[in-house]
A = this chain, B = another copy of it.
Amino acid sequence: MAKLIALYKHPENKEAFDDHYFNVHSPLTAKIPGLREMKITKISGSPMGGEGKYYLTCEMKYDNLEALLAGLRTAEGKASGKDLMGFAGDLVTLMIGKDA
């Protein structure tokens, strides 16, 4: 399995972020061909206290790296990427990874 991890910093307006994220962005992303699983985690803080820098993470699994990269190049992948840059381009860090 290969995975794409999206890590979002705290948005200024959490309500507007959540509304777009769950009602627009996630459904767009869910359509990407080859996507096997999508796991969204809300960050509530740090064991050291404080809310920390990050707000939410999403892990998207594909069969392998080739399938992941091919998925991002499809029309659905491009639509998700374009939407992402529009509402959270300054908040998101994207990482490609695989199980160690």
**Which residues in A have some Cβ–Cβ distance to B below 8 Å?**
3-5, 7, 22, 39-48, 52-54, 56-57, 65, 69, 72, 93-100
15 A-B pairs whose Cβ atoms sit less than 8 Å apart in the complex: A5-B43, A22-B100, A41-B99, A42-B97, A43-B95, A43-B96, A44-B65, A44-B98, A45-B96, A52-B94, A52-B95, A53-B93, A54-B93, A56-B100, A57-B97
Pick the residue among B44, B65, B72 that contacts A97 (CB under 8 A): B44
A72 to B, closest residue via Cβ: B47
**Pair A42/B95 contact, Cβ less than 8 Å:** no
8 closest A-B pairs by beta carbon, nearest first, are A40-B100, A41-B97, A43-B97, A42-B100, A43-B95, A46-B94, A44-B96, A47-B94
